[in-house]
């Protein structure tokens, strides 16, 4: 696991103020980090609104409070593995220390509360990995938090291992597991909070979007953290879009992840974020609908690689084996020549391993089948352990491509043989060896002609077209038609019988009895 | 010449003599005017010559002045000897004799060959003496008798360039240097200059002219002796010995011959002993003994060999008593190689080697040699088959492969093939060299092969196997995601060794060496030219019959050298015999020649990263530009008929049921190939880069590769044949074309790794192939019934050939040779050491002669 000690270093060097119970600020606490000028007023106003508007600190904030003024209500649920060394006193110390670090790191951005987890079994990284979104929803859906961090502490030999996983209430999605380990017991809380910071996925609201750009509003964007390293977003970060629908009563209904649609952060100005849209779909965010909220959640890369599995969309049990997968750092403009790229071939399970990029960058993935592009989509390698993509069946078209390759091979032979016979006939005519000239011309005439090649082309095209029509695969049909048309043009161009006639006429003029 | 005052005219023709000759004759008249000089004496007329009378005595004085002048035109003998005629002059120009005139300051008269040679003057003197003691015949007149006496004193001669016959009194002749003598003089000079070839040529010519010419034999002896010395000094002792043998045959009394024989033979024997070639050492010793039975050198070496052999026999007895049969057999074999006539050796040899049979096998390449060829070859296949036991092994091949297993007693598919239960054998035959494995061993090996992070990872196996279950220590079950077409092909691998700590109690100490748990033989000893493999598990003695305990592979540089080794008895089998030699060896009653079940297919392949992969025109040009028929006939079969070879269109055997015999062969067409190269060049902007080719380290393959490169150069493709031993392929040394031989018995499983140059069928290694072809291979890999697999394989066969992704050229039947002392081998072996654990071997004793 990659450690983010740099983030925590700034935390540790700061003051030791904390909020007991995760809310409010001790009267004697003092701010140690300067605030950016333009945000000086907003946090204060937000705090006032928040304090006044809420009977309880954990109550739902009023919906009319702008998103950027809404701090995250965070619960850190810490589970300790049943180890003798994890005494109640130790556990309490860890929680207290974590609360202090959270406060000085995020301050108003988070309203953080700590608790000891009692339901996660086993209380370790394995147990964490077994938690599903459904379990999370069941356990955490009722509680009134925006973010819940499930954190486990266990021993790994002489070292302490902390693992953390975030659950986001807005999207009801579980994030990946981040872990850190330390040999120093007293620094465990620091490492735990470092892992929490890494697991934290900011939430944004998509305010407007064009084909390739979007403007978003960042939750709690008005509360910059005291620690610059704890900033929610930076240019280059990648967000994933969600559509959250509500019923007439305003209850949350379906939350839909816009798969293969990402927003790459271009600029962050306080709470306002501008992004570039990268999607497999055309304009996926356009067309605002009533009662549908467009949200975005930052993508966090927790894995070294993602296993991407390609399957047949009509039969997901059938993997697409041996398909070329090209990975590019950016999208390839239309009609541009292919750039150097990483090339993979799907294995017998239809999978390829996509290694994570530095800082969790987005890549463009091109799935090829022969000379055709089967799919083109953006992805953040390392954001998931495995991802599956269903693609249409291209086998018939590919078979046609192979048969056309064979036909083209014969075409090459034919052209060379024609040239050979014509050349020889002309040479022999110059030498007045007319019997051998006739022999060459006879061989020339015996070679396959345009009609035969066209017939072969038809025997390739017609059954293939019928087959794809039966499958109702119009894309394959158009592609087959296209490559067959191209081959037909090649046949017309290179197997032109006029060339033979022209050569024969030229040779005939050279015959001694040509004038008679 | 007309102004000359002294002329002697030919009595018949009136021709004027050449000046120099005339002067000489005049000189003779001046000395003995009455009798000594006659011009042109014609005996048939029986008329006294008038020449003497015609000669004016008064002219004598006046001629003296001119005599001196013209005498200078005659060459001096010193000059002639200093500038002897060359070999070419002596052999090609008309022969001449030199007559050295006694009183004329060593001037030489050059005349045509004189009759009555050699010893012309001696013979004349002898005739005079005989005349003196023989009484006159009454029928002969006194005048005639007297005339005959006078004639005996005159030598008849023809001056070069003059058809007139002259006579010269013998007392005027100092000596005659005949043409043959001139040749000998030249031979002497040549011997001094070490020009042995020319000297020998002259001596041969002289021998043809006059076999008994005095001095010729001595010169020949001297030539042989000197030549021997020179060869010896140059390090060519064997030729030196041959010359001495020739000299000895001409006479054993040549001075220094005895000593030189000893020196040369000693050197040869010493060198042979140093190179551990005792057969050759004994051969030289025998040659020496044939010349001089009791030569001191011969006696010394006989004693040395006997002593060495005796010492080794003692070692062998000692090792045998210490229960070290390997050392004992090695010692006794060495003793037999050194001096087979050592007393008691034969019995000891038979006794030891019958209990620990050692098979000596002749090969062209040993394992792990320094050829540098980056792909597996038949050598690796041979060694793998000898040393490792796979879970399933190829047993026979007809139109499909048939397998057997040494490790399983029973395997049974259930659940319509989705599960298989394997029962491990719990019994080992006395002759077997195989471990008794547990289920855990095999399941662990399977797990390792299914672990993507393992070096042994097998993607095909991992995709096929769903579950593994150990039912008992001797039984396990595999569940399959998809029913495998051939479970045997899927599980055709050796079980790797676990850590020694995991099971030291169950295995013999020796089995813990090597890299596989399921080992048959293992390498125990290695030299530059040989490798010894020994059974991992010793055979259990159940009677007097012992099976092969050790295999000793001997390396030979060429196939011919290997056959010579077989004939000499150095080896008892050849792991590979080429078709041209089959007839010759088959006729030898000492050997069995067995045809292997699998032929070798010769194939050209292209490197996946080479630009040639992207040029269909160039690939087709290469295919059309090879005259396969000629190369096969002239180089591979060496003019033999096509009984043991065929042109093919696939990399797997033409006898396989998936081979499509109706696929049309590409016919050699250089013009078409040239057109295709032109098309490729056009596509590549006028430049086809030089291609780099590698080929298997085999003399025949290399010869074919060189010939192909010549053929391709004719169509405008420039190809360099790389020396694989000098290229570091791991460090990025690249090639474009590889020429390899392959024996593919299970194309459904083996075609994929073959095409991708990968040891395993990994999907990502197919990336260089077009998508449609890749999908065809994947479809074949996933086929679950044999009919479907065969149909797919035929389609692939056709498509690979059409698209020239490889160029199959021909397949050549493979043969093995066994000395008839070997028993138990398979009639149609699938590998050189097929079933070797069951082979028995009679000890082969080297012949005592030489």
- How close does chain A come to B275, measured CA to CA in Å? 55
- How close does chain B come to A371, measured CA to CA in Å? 8
Task: Please compute the mean of the pLDDT values over residues B40-54 and round it to a whole number.
Answer: 37
pLDDT at B511 over 70: no
Which residues from B are below 8 Å from A410, CB to CB? 802
CA dihedral (B718, B723, B726, B731) positive or negative: positive
Q: Is the Cβ pair B672, A415 closer than 8 Å?
A: no
A507 against B469, higher pLDDT: B469
**Averaged pLDDT score across all residues of chain A:** 82
pLDDT in tens, B204-220: 999 888 888 999 999 99
pLDDT at B499 over 60: no
Question: What is the pLDDT at residue A121?
Answer: 86
Cβ contact B218:B253 at 8 Å: no
CA dihedral (B127, B132, B138, B140) positive or negative: positive
The domain ranges of chain A are 4-8+18-201, 204-298, 305-391, 395-508
Question: What is the pLDDT at residue A514?
Answer: 61
Q: Is the Cβ pair A402, B616 closer than 8 Å?
A: no
Minimum mean pLDDT range among A74-88, A255-269, B532-546, B606-620? B532-546
Architecture of the CATH domain A305-391 = Sandwich (2.60)
Question: What is the pLDDT at residue B58?
Answer: 43
B334 strand-pairing partners? none
pLDDT in tens, A2-44: 333 333 333 333 333 333 333 333 333 333 333 333 343 344 4
Q: Is the Cβ pair A420, B672 closer than 8 Å?
A: yes
Residue of A nearest to B464 (CA): A348
Q: What are phi and psi of A442, to 5 degrees?
A: -65, -45
Question: What is the pLDDT at residue A287?
Answer: 63
Question: What is the pLDDT at residue B371?
Answer: 80
Residue among B505, B502, B500, B478 at smallest CA distance from B490: B478
Chain B interface with A: residues with Cβ < 8 Å: 459-460, 462-463, 616-617, 620, 669, 671-672, 674-676, 679, 762-764, 766-767, 770-778, 781-782, 799, 802-804
Neighbours of B267 (CB within 10 A): 18
Cα distance between residue A258 and residue B203, in whole Å: 106
Q: Is the Cβ pair A343, B767 closer than 8 Å?
A: yes
Place of tokens 């139109």: B399
Cα distance between residue A77 and residue B631, in whole Å: 80
Beta strands in B587-629 (DSSP E): 591-595, 600-606
Residues 422-461 of A with CB under 8 A from B: 423-424
- Paired tokens of A169: 């209430």
pLDDT in tens, A176-235: 999 898 888 888 899 999 999 999 999 999 988 887 889 999 999 988 888 888 889 999
Cβ contact B101:B108 at 8 Å: yes
B647 strand-pairing partners? B810
CATH topology of domain A204-298: Thrombin, subunit H (2.40.10)
Report CA A246 to chain centroid distance, whole Å.
27
Question: What is the pLDDT at residue B68?
Answer: 41
Task: Give the predicted TM-score (pTM) of the model.
Answer: 0.74
First to last CA, chain A: 94
Domains A204-298 and A305-391 share a fold: no
pLDDT in tens, B743-800: 999 999 999 999 999 888 888 888 888 999 999 999 999 898 899 999 999 999 999 9
pLDDT tens track, chain A, 516 positions: 333 333 333 333 333 333 333 333 333 333 333 333 334 334 444 443 343 333 333 445 555 788 888 999 999 999 999 988 889 999 999 999 999 999 989 888 999 999 998 888 888 889 888 888 777 777 776 678 889 999 999 998 888 899 999 999 888 888 999 989 888 888 889 999 999 999 999 999 998 888 788 999 999 998 888 888 888 999 999 999 998 888 877 777 888 888 889 999 999 998 899 999 998 887 777 666 677 888 999 998 988 999 999 999 989 989 999 999 999 888 776 666 566 678 899 999 999 999 998 888 899 999 998 888 899 999 999 988 899 999 988 999 999 999 999 999 889 888 888 888 888 898 898 888 888 998 988 888 888 888 899 999 999 999 999 999 998 888 899 999 999 999 999 998 888 888 888 888 888 888 777 655
Q: Is the Cβ pair A402, B799 closer than 8 Å?
A: yes
Instruction: Mark B137-165 as b/e (b = at least 16 C-beta within 10 Å).
Output: eeeeeeeeeebeeeebbbbebebeebebb
Size of interface A-B (CB pairs under 8 A): 92
Cα distance between residue A46 and residue A53, in whole Å: 10
- Maximal CA-CA distance, chain A: 123
Which residues from A are below 8 Å from B764, CB to CB? 344-345, 347
Question: What is the pLDDT at residue A312?
Answer: 92
**Residue B390 pLDDT level (bands cut at 50, 70, 90):** very high
Question: What is the pLDDT at residue B15?
Answer: 40
Please enumerate, as own/partner, the contacts of A41-50 that have beta carbons within 8 Å and a separation of 24 or more: A42/A68, A42/A69, A42/A222, A42/A223, A43/A108, A43/A222, A43/A223, A45/A69, A46/A70, A46/A71, A46/A108, A46/A222, A46/A223, A47/A108
**Contact partners, residue A32, CB within 8 Å, separation at least 6:** A14, A15, A17, A104, A226
- Say what angle helices B196-209 and B179-193 make with each other, to 10 degrees: 160
Using CB atoms within 10 A of its CB, is residue B586 exposed (0-12), middle (13-18) or buried (19+)? middle
Question: What is the pLDDT at residue B211?
Answer: 86
Alpha-carbon dihedral angle through residues B309, B311, B316, B317, given to the nearest 10 degrees: 120
Q: Is the Cβ pair A409, B616 closer than 8 Å?
A: yes
In this structure, which CATH number among 1.10.10, 1.10.132, 1.10.1060, 2.40.160 belongs to the domain A395-508? Answer: 1.10.132
Residue of B nearest to A371 (CA): B771
CA dihedral (A176, A181, A185, A189) positive or negative: negative
Relative to beta strand A272-279, strand A342-345 is unpaired
Question: What is the pLDDT at residue A12?
Answer: 35
């Amino acid at each position: 696991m990659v450690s983010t000690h740099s983030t925590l270093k700034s935390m540790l060097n700061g003051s030791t103020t904390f909020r007991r119970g995760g809310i409010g600020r001790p009267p004697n606490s003092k701010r140690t980090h300067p605030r950016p000028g333009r945000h000086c007023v907003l946090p204060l106003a937000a705090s006032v609104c928040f304090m006044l508007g809420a009977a309880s600190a954990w109550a739902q904030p009023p919906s009319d409070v702008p998103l950027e003024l809404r701090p995250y209500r965070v619960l850190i649920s810490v589970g300790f593995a049943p180890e003798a060394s994890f005494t109640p006193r130790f556990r309490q110390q860890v929680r207290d220390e974590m609360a202090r670090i959270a406060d000085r790191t995020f301050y108003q951005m988070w309203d953080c509360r700590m608790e000891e987890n009692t339901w996660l079994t086993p209380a370790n990284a394995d147990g964490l990995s077994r938690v599903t979104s459904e379990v999370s929803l069941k356990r955490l859906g009722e509680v009134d938090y925006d973010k819940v961090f499930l954190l486990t502490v266990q021993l790994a030999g002489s070292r302490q291992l902390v693992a953390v996983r975030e659950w986001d209430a807005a999207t009801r999605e579980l994030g990946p597991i981040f872990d850190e380990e330390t040999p120093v017991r007293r620094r465990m809380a620091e490492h735990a909070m470092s892992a929490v910071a890494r697991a934290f996925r900011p939430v944004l609201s998509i305010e407007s979007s064009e084909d390739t750009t979007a403007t978003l509003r960042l939750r709690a964007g008005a509360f910059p953290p005291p620690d610059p390293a704890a900033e929610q977003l930076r240019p280059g970060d990648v967000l994933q879009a969600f559509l959250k629908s509500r019923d007439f009563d305003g209850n949350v209904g379906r939350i839909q992840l816009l798969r293969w649609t990402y927003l790459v952060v271009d600029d962050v100005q306080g709470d306002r974020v501008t992004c570039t849209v990268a999607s497999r779909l055309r304009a996926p965010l356009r067309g605002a609908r009533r009662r549908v909220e467009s949200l975005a959640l930052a993508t966090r890369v927790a894995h070294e690689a993602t296993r991407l599995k390609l399957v047949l969309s009509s039969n997901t049990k059938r993997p697409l084996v041996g398909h070329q997968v090209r990975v590019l750092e950016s999208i390839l403009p239309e009609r541009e020549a292919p750039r150097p790229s990483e090339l993979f071939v799907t294995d017998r399970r239809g999978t390829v391993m996509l290694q994570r990029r530095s800082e969790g960058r987005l890549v463009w993935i091109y799935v090829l089948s022969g000379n055709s592009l089967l799919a083109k989509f953006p992805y953040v390698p390392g954001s998931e352990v495995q991802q599956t993509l269903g693609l249409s069946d291209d086998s018939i078209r590919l078979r046609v491509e192979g048969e056309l390759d064979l036909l083209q091979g014969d075409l090459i032979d034919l052209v060379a043989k024609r040239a050979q016979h014509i050349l020889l006939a002309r040479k022999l005519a110059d030498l007045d060896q007319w019997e051998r000239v006739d022999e060459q011309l006879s061989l020339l005439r015996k070679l396959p002609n345009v009609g035969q090649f066209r017939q072969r082309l038809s025997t390739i095209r017609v059954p293939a077209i019928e087959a794809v029509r039966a499958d109702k695969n119009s894309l394959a049909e158009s592609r087959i038609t296209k490559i067959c048309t191209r081959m037909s043009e090649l046949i017309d161009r290179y197997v032109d019988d006029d060339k033979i006639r022209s050569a024969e006429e030229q040779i005939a003029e050279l015959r001694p009895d040509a004038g008679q | 010449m007309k102004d000359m005052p002294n002329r002697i005219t030919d009595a018949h023709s009136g021709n004027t003599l050449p000046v120099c000759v005339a002067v000489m004759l005049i000189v003779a008249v001046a000395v003995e005017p009455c009798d000594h000089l006659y011009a042109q004496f014609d005996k048939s007329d029986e008329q006294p010559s008038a020449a003497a009378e015609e000669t004016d005595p008064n002219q004598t004085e006046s001629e003296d002045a001119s005599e001196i002048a013209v005498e200078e035109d005659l060459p001096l003998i010193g000059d002639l000897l200093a500038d002897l005629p060359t070999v070419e002059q002596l052999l090609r120009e008309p022969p001449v004799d030199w007559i050295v005139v006694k009183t004329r300051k060593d001037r030489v008269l050059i005349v045509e060959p004189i009759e009555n040679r050699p010893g012309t003057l001696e013979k004349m003197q002898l005739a005079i003496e005989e005349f003196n003691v023989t009484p006159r015949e009454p029928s002969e007149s006194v005048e005639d008798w007297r005339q005959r006496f006078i004639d005996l004193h005159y030598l008849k001669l023809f001056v070069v360039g003059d058809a007139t016959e002259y006579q010269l009194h013998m007392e005027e002749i100092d000596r005659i240097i005949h043409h043959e003598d001139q040749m000998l003089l030249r031979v002497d000079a040549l011997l001094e200059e070490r020009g042995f070839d020319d000297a020998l040529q002259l001596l041969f010519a002289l021998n043809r002219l006059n076999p008994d010419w005095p001095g010729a034999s001595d010169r020949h002896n001297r030539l042989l002796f000197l030549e021997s010395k020179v060869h010896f000094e140059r390090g060519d002792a064997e030729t030196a010995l041959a010359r001495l043998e020739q000299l000895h045959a001409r006479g054993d009394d040549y001075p220094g011959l005895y000593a030189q024989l000893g020196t040369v033979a000693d050197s040869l024997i010493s060198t042979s002993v140093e190179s551990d070639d005792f057969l050759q050492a004994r051969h030289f010793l025998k040659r020496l003994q044939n010349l001089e039975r009791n030569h001191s050198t011969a006696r010394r070496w006989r004693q040395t060999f006997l002593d060495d052999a005796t010492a080794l026999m003692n070692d062998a007895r000692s090792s045998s008593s210490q229960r070290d049969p390997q050392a004992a057999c090695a010692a006794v074999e060495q003793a037999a190689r050194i001096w087979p006539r050592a007393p008691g050796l034969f019995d000891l040899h038979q006794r030891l080697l019958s209990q620990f049979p050692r098979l000596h096998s002749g090969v062209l390449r040993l394992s792990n040699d320094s050829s540098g060829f980056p792909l597996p070859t038949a050598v690796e296949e041979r060694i793998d088959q000898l040393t490792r036991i796979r879970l399933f092994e190829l047993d026979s091949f007809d139109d499909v492969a048939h397998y057997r297993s040494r490790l399983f007693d029973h395997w049974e598919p259930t659940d319509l093939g989705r599960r298989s239960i394997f029962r491990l054998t719990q019994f080992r035959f006395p002759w077997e060299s195989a471990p008794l494995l547990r289920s855990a061993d095999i399941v662990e090996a399977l797990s390792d092969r299914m672990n993507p992070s393992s070096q042994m990872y097998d993607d095909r196996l991992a995709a096929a196997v769903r579950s593994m279950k150990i039912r008992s220590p001797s039984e396990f079950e595999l569940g399959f995601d998809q029913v495998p077409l051939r479970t045997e092909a899927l599980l055709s691998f050796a079980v790797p060794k676990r850590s020694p700590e995991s099971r030291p109690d169950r295995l013999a100490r020796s089995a813990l060496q090597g890299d596989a748990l399921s080992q048959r033989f293992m390498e125990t000893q290695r030299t530059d030219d040989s490798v010894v493999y020994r059974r991992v598990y010793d055979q259990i003695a159940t009677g007097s019959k012992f099976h092969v305990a050790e295999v000793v592979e001997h390396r030979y540089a060429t196939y011919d050298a290997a056959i010579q080794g077989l004939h000499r008895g150095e080896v008892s089998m050849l792991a590979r015999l080429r078709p041209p030699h089959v007839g010759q060896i088959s006729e030898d009653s000492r050997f069995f020649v067995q045809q292997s079940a699998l032929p070798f297919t010769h194939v050209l392949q292209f490197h996946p990263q080479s630009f040639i992969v992207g040029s269909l025109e160039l690939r087709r040009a290469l295919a059309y530009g090879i005259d396969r028929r000629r190369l096969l006939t002239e180089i591979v079969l060496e003019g033999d008929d096509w009984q043991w070879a065929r042109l093919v269109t696939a990399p797997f055997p033409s006898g396989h049921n998936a081979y499509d015999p109706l696929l049309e062969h590409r016919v050699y067409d250089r013009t078409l190939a040239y057109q295709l190269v032109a098309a490729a060049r056009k596509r590549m902007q006028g430049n086809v880069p030089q291609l780099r080719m590698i080929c298997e380290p085999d003399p025949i393959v290399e010869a074919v590769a060189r010939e192909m490169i010549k053929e391709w150069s004719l169509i405008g493709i420039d190809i360099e044949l790389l020396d694989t031993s000098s290229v570091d392929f791991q460090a990025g040394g690249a090639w474009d074309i590889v020429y390899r031989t392959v024996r593919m018995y299970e194309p459904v499983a083996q075609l994929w790794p073959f095409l991708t140059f990968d040891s395993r069928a990994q999907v990502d290694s197919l990336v260089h192939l077009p998508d449609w072809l890749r999908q065809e291979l994947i479809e074949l890999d996933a086929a679950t019934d044999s009919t479907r697999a065969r149909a797919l394989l035929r389609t692939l066969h056709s498509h690979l050939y059409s698209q020239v992704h490889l160029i199959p050229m021909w397949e050549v039947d493979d043969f093995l040779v066994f000395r008839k002392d070997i028993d138990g081998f398979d009639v149609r072996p699938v590998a050189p050491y097929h079933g070797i654990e069951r082979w028995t071997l009679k000890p082969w004793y080297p012949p005592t002669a030489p």
